[in-house]
């Protein structure tokens, strides 16, 4: 049964009020019906934009090893899309309530949703790429190529180190040292989140055998702003003037389009890492 517009706006207003108090708390409930009704209502008054990520397309079907990474990427894409849809709902409802334009600086609750989108994208990037390394590298290093070269360089560096790590010696003593050494190598590539574009290219791209032709260095470097924003949000909650003790902390403000482009670039790079790895895996079989 169709619902009256006033009922829809009233229910959405309650949800938005809760969203303003906390960033995505468990008590925030925006039903699909409410979100759809408000999102499809006329956009006046206000200058509203619905943020949309680029579609991922179909996953590669020639390498089963990339499937776990692909599903993590897809889940991240859906979560970030949900945040952008909630942002649109919050802004539309605010404009309807106040009967005024939404031009100008975004309200604090909208900025928090943009910050959440950055953090979600970063977490999904780490999860998907780490899964990709975990499942693909054992196959890739069985054949000559960049992946094998990176693995052998790791073993040589470990063996020639002034102070050989205990984990390396333990791996050598295992009944199957080959498998143990591969596990140690993979752990070295996946035990920490990626700290920047060069780290992502070196740690992930190198171990997966991704060539500059498959993904140019400039594609990785384009994520520098994204990683800077991720660090600002994750480590300081975007707060500035940390040396001040008596003033309200300043917070970084970002436009919707800027955040959309950063998140989109990051997710599309992960997609292309997965696709490039699938090609490299197929060449090994």
Does residue 241 surpass a pLDDT of 50? yes
Question: Can you give the pLDDT at residue 37?
Answer: 52
Q: Looking at 103-107, 132-136, 229-233, 268-272, which range is the least confident one?
A: 103-107
Better pLDDT: 16 or 206: 206
Where does the pLDDT of residue 244 fall: very low under 50, low under 70, confident under 90, or very high at 90 and above?
low
Does residue 259 surpass a pLDDT of 90? yes
Per-domain residue ranges for the chain? Answer: 71-135+195-284
The full 3-state SS of the chain, as one line of letters, equals CCCCHHHHHHHHHHHHHHHHHCCCCCCCCCCHHHHHHHHCCCCCCCCCCCCCCCCCCCCCCCCHHHHHHHHHHHHHHHHHHHHHHHHHHHHHHHHHHHCCCCCCCCCHHHHHHHHHHHHHHHHHHHHHHHHHHHHHHHHHCCCCCHHHHHHHHHHHHHHHCCCCCHHHHHHHCCCCHHHHHHHHHHHHHHCCCCCCHHHHHHHHHHHCCCCCCCCCHHHHHCCHHHHHHHHHHHHHCCECCCCCCCCCCCECCCCHHHHHHHHHHHHHHHHHHHHHHHHHHHHHC
| Residue 29 burial (CB count, 10 A) | 11
Q: Looking at 138-142, 148-152, 169-173, 243-247, which range is the least confident one?
A: 243-247
pLDDT tens digits for 27-56? 334 455 554 454 444 444 455 778 999 999
- Model pTM above 0.85: no
Question: Can you give the pLDDT at residue 99?
Answer: 60
Q: Looking at 39-53, 125-139, 231-245, which range is the least confident one?
A: 39-53
What the block records as the tokens of 47 is: 């200058």
| Best mean pLDDT range from 34-48, 173-187, 229-243 | 173-187
């Amino acid at each position: 049964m169709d619902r009256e517009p006033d009922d829809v706006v009233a229910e959405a207003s309650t949800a938005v009020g809760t969203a303003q108090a906390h960033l995505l708390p468990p008590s925030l409930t925006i039903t699909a019906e409410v979100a759809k009704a408000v999102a499809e209502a006329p956009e006046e008054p206000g200058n509203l934009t619905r943020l949309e990520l680029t579609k991922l397309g179909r996953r590669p079907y020639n390498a089963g090893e990339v499937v776990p990474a692909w599903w993590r990427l897809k889940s991240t894409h859906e979560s970030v899309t949900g945040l952008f849809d909630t942002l649109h709902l919050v802004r539309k409802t605010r404009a309807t309530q106040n009967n005024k334009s939404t031009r100008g600086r975004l309200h604090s609750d909208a900025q928090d949703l943009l910050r959440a989108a950055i953090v979600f994208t970063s977490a999904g990037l780490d999860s998907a790429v780490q899964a990709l390394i975990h499942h693909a590298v054992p196959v890739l290093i069985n054949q000559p190529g960049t992946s094998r070269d990176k693995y052998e360089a790791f073993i040589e560096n470990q063996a020639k180190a002034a102070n050989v790590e205990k984990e390396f010696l333990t791996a050598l003593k295992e009944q199957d040292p080959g498998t143990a050494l591969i596990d140690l190598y993979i752990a070295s590539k996946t035990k920490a989140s990626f700290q920047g574009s060069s780290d992502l290219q070196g740690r992930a791209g190198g171990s997966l055998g991704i060539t500059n032709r498959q993904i140019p260095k400039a594609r990785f470097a384009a994520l520098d702003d994204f990683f800077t924003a991720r660090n600002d949000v994750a480590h300081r909650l975007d707060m500035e003037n940390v040396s001040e003790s008596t003033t309200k902390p300043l917070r970084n403000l970002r436009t919707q389009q800027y955040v959309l482009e950063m998140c989109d670039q990051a997710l599309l790079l992960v997609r292309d890492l997965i696709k490039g790895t699938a090609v490299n895996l197929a060449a090994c079989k």
